[in-house]
Structure 1
Amino acid sequence: MTLGISGALAKRFIRSPLTPLFLIAALLAGMIALISIPREEEPQISVPMVDIMVAAPGLRAPDAIELVGKPLETIVKSVADVEHVYTFADDHQVMVTARFKVGIDPDSAAVRIHEKVRANYDRIPAGIAEPLIQTRGINDVPSLVLTLSPKPGAAGQWTDQALYELAGKLRTEVAKVDNVGLTFIVGGRPEEIRIAPDPARLAQHGVSLGALMDTVRQATRAFPAGQIRGGGQAIDVTAGRSLTSSTDIGLLALPSASGQAVYVRDVADVIQGPREDQARAWRYASVDGVWSQAPAASLAISKRKGANAVVVSQAVLARVEALKGSLLPDSLDVAVTRDYGATANEKANELLFHLGLATLSIVVLIGLAIGWREAAVTAVVTPTTILLTLFASNLMGYTINRVSLFALIFSIGILVDDAIVMIENIARHW
């Protein structure tokens, strides 16, 4: 009987003493890949988005769209591989977002946008500062979100400002964990100093609004003034000062037409307090059927590209647990409002369970219908095939995510059908 290529290949492996070693090596490699392959919710599909943020002081939203937004749209649309352009405008600011085609390198996309905007910035009205350009991708999606809020009965002890400051400190600690990427705070209100000029008082003291703005702007500047050397040491000297309180700003001297000593506090109200945000975050809790409202601040944490979301989430939560009682007081509740690491791990384990169940079903079916020798072959070959698939995926840089999980689930049916058909025909003809 003349054997074809597949028959000759099968005969060679059947008679080779190295075949069992290959099987053992394949099983070990697959088990290592199963443990080490990263698990995450979102697939690593490169759909780069570039945000172009422009400060437009003094322009209302409709004017900002016409003068800044539309010219920027025209410039960005001329960049190669840009698929969609979105524009958002608010008073005193504009943001244009460019979405590139799938597969474009994010760094290359940012460079293209930067070069095109710089080359055509003469289309933007004079006086508009250069834009801030940032790249966004799938790895910027938070995989873990921690929400800080006072426990029931302790709501009066915490304000939006205090929660924001504590979230900032927690953010610093979390950033020390390996493979933590972008972090940002949602909710809470940071402290700021606001200057509210009074037109009547400005006119009374002969001070213009421009002079007030220039004085405050110049007072916050500092620059190196040289070094003092002595005793084998060199001390850097900085000229200028830092304004840290409303009192410091209120005591700034202003140029006056009358020649009298005029300070900022004489012509404006200097207010130090929480930022006046339009958006607020709250936490609602029910105690004995009574609902209570308390301020909240959420810390969103994303992982770096290629990192295992399960490992990163567990490391961050362990760090947070270690900070309880020191940085995080007992009157504060830290709730996990999103954990893609836990959900990704749960889905991966569920898939592996069903893979094992499908393999067991095939083995039992073939054992009852054909024979236990054929069933033993299936029990070895089917898991080896699945594990080798995971090993190859790990080598190529893929992760276990919702897309790859669907592909593996889809392949189970094909694998089961092929195993049954092939084993049955082998047993029938040979």
Structure 2
Amino acid sequence: MSDSPHSHEAHGLAGKLAGGFIDSKLTPLVVVASVLLGLFAVIMLPREEEPQIKVPMIDVMVAMPGATAKEVEERVTSPMEKLLWEISGVEYVYSTSRAGESLVIVRFKVGYDQETALVRLNQKLQSNFDRIPPGVTAPLIKAKSIDDVPILALTLHSDRYDPVTLRRLAAELEDAVKQVADVAETTLIGGQHRTILASIDPAKLAARNLSLAGIVPILQQANRQYRSGEITSGNTDVLIESGAFLHSAEEAGEVVLGAFGGKPVYLRDVAELSDGSDDPDHYVLFGHGAASGEVGGEENAVTLTVAKRPGTNAISLAEKVLAKVDALKGLVIPDDVEVTITRHYGETAAEKSNELL
């Protein structure tokens, strides 16, 4: 028996190390430091619903104007699918063919490098450009990743505003949200763009020796703004711009299309003008379900989606965006326009990460 309570003569290297920690006065400090580092790591750990898994996906879009869906499939989609399958690392190829357009989605294996995938796909397509059928445009290539999935969706809805006004309000809100750090991409879904509608009278055009093909370039030139140059005075540079955009039907009516009988011919002389809206790409309506207990019909709506930059904490970013939106209520967002959170990945990510912790 040894007189020392911590004798380690019968033990090897591991026993000597353990004994050293047992007898050392620094051991409590090391334990406390380890606990603090662990807590700091838990707090700073990025939390998100979609994990950072590398799964490269690339969209290849090709246009073939005037072709039917069957012609697009036979002449564009099917040959391109076979070509893309030859690329090393490709796991799946999905395709959609419709009149005048072809979309092929290439998905690479999990963990495959995104840049390598893009380079190899571009090389494969460029080396086969000579096989593109007549009438087919060059392919448009867009890379996709898990970070392109929006973490937040805000729906602006009201029963007092039309789709054009809601779209304008949502666009102003989008500009403000883009200023939040770590916001990667924002998208507006729904609503309508304001446009000036001109219903041309062919008889009035012909009576003034004008044609539709001749007045289109004139209207395009009238609705443009150019940077003409700069004037430098001292330490100040003054930007000179010429031209202006048309803001109303009245302004559009003042555009001069030509001359006839010694008098100018205005657009209002040959067309009926009105303020209107374009055809919507998406129809977005908002309504409460029976479980909400609120009775009401569907309201016009526009949805703003927000995606984050890679590696950003989804929870903290969502909180920053929502704080920004709350600050703009009553300023950019009128009191009679409601903002409803229709997607919140930061909230669900917090719930799942808390379960793990």
Q: Which residue of 1 aligns with 2:191?
A: 188
Q: Which residue of 1 aligns with 2:322?
A: 317
Q: Does the Cα contact within 8 Å between 1:192 and 1:273 map onto a contact in 2?
A: yes
Q: Does the Cα contact within 8 Å between 1:38 and 1:308 map onto a contact in 2?
A: yes
Indicate yes or no: 2:332 matched with 1:332: no
Q: Which residue of 1 aligns with 2:351?
A: 346
* Structure number with higher helix proportion: 1
Indicate yes or no: 2:58 matched with 1:53: no
TM-superposed CA distance for 1:87, in Å, is 2.6
What is the alpha-carbon distance in structure 2 between the residues aligned to residue 64 and residue 214 of structure 1?
32
- Cα 1:5–1:204 shift into 2, 3 Å: farther
TM-superposed CA distance for 1:316, in Å, is 0.9
Q: Which residue of 1 aligns with 2:157?
A: 149
Q: Which residue of 1 aligns with 2:145?
A: 137
Q: Does the Cα contact within 8 Å between 2:167 and 2:191 map onto a contact in 1?
A: yes
- Cα 1:114–1:319 shift into 2, 3 Å: same
Equivalent position SS for 2:342: strand
TM-superposed CA distance for 1:10, in Å, is 3.9
TM-superposed CA distance for 1:22, in Å, is 2.4
Q: Which residue of 2 aligns with 1:299?
A: 304
> What are the within-5 Å matches in structure 2 for residues 153-168 of structure 1?
155=159, 157-168=160-171
Question: Scaled by the length of structure 1, what TM-score is found?
Answer: 0.66
TM-superposed CA distance for 1:21, in Å, is 2.8
2:278 aligns with one of 258, 275, 278: 275
> What are the within-5 Å matches in structure 2 for residues 245-260 of structure 1?
245=248
What is the alpha-carbon distance in structure 2 between the residues aligned to residue 338 and residue 306 of structure 1?
20
Q: Structure 2 counterpart of 1:160, which letter?
A: P
What is the alpha-carbon distance in structure 2 between the residues aligned to residue 251 and residue 328 of structure 1?
34
Per-residue CA deviations over 1:344-399 (Å, capped at 9, x if unaligned) read 222333333xxxxxxxxxxxxxxxxxxxxxxxxxxxxxxxxxxxxxxxxxxxxxxx
Indicate yes or no: 2:178 matched with 1:175: yes
**Which stretch of the first structure deviates more once superposed, 343-352 or 112-121?**
112-121
What is the alpha-carbon distance in structure 1 between the residues aligned to residue 265 and residue 223 of structure 2?
19
TM-superposed CA distance for 1:17, in Å, is 4.0
- Cα 1:37–1:331 shift into 2, 3 Å: same
What is the alpha-carbon distance in structure 1 between the residues aligned to residue 131 and residue 270 of structure 2?
38
What is the alpha-carbon distance in structure 1 between the residues aligned to residue 134 and residue 271 of structure 2?
29
Indicate yes or no: 2:118 matched with 1:110: yes
TM-superposed CA distance for 1:264, in Å, is 6.7
What is the alpha-carbon distance in structure 2 between the residues aligned to residue 71 and residue 197 of structure 1?
44
Equivalent position SS for 1:296: strand
**Which stretch of the first structure deviates more once superposed, 339-348 or 243-252?**
243-252
- Cα 1:310–1:120 shift into 2, 3 Å: same
Per-residue CA deviations over 1:135-170 (Å, capped at 9, x if unaligned) read 2111111111111112xxxx1x21111111111111
Equivalent position SS for 2:324: helix
What is the alpha-carbon distance in structure 2 between the residues aligned to residue 99 and residue 2 of structure 1?
60
- Cα 1:244–1:143 shift into 2, 3 Å: same
Q: Structure 2 counterpart of 1:295, which letter?
A: N
Per-residue CA deviations over 1:255-283 (Å, capped at 9, x if unaligned) read 99xxx987777887766532323631111
TM-superposed CA distance for 1:241, in Å, is 5.7
- Cα 1:49–1:250 shift into 2, 3 Å: farther
Number of equivalent positions: 347
Q: Does the Cα contact within 8 Å between 2:191 and 2:280 map onto a contact in 1?
A: no
- Cα 1:251–1:299 shift into 2, 3 Å: same
TM-superposed CA distance for 1:37, in Å, is 0.9
Equivalent position SS for 1:347: helix
> What are the within-5 Å matches in structure 2 for residues 234-245 of structure 1?
242-245=245-248
What is the alpha-carbon distance in structure 2 between the residues aligned to residue 277 and residue 37 of structure 1?
42
Q: Does the Cα contact within 8 Å between 2:65 and 2:135 map onto a contact in 1?
A: no
TM-superposed CA distance for 1:299, in Å, is 1.0
> What are the within-5 Å matches in structure 2 for residues 200-239 of structure 1?
none
TM-superposed CA distance for 1:134, in Å, is 2.3
Indicate yes or no: 2:95 matched with 1:87: yes
What's the C-alpha RMSD, in Å, of the aligned pairs?
A: 4.0
Equivalent position SS for 2:296: strand
Q: Which residue of 2 aligns with 1:379?
A: none
Q: Structure 2 counterpart of 1:23, which letter?
A: V
Q: Which residue of 2 aligns with 1:362?
A: none
- Cα 1:226–1:162 shift into 2, 3 Å: closer
What is the alpha-carbon distance in structure 2 between the residues aligned to residue 237 and residue 135 of structure 1?
38
What is the alpha-carbon distance in structure 1 between the residues aligned to residue 46 and residue 140 of structure 2?
33
**Which stretch of the first structure deviates more once superposed, 182-191 or 246-255?**
246-255
TM-superposed CA distance for 1:329, in Å, is 1.3
What is the alpha-carbon distance in structure 2 between the residues aligned to residue 58 and residue 8 of structure 1?
83
**Which stretch of the first structure deviates more once superposed, 275-284 or 66-75?**
66-75
Q: Structure 2 counterpart of 1:318, which letter?
A: A
Equivalent position SS for 1:178: coil
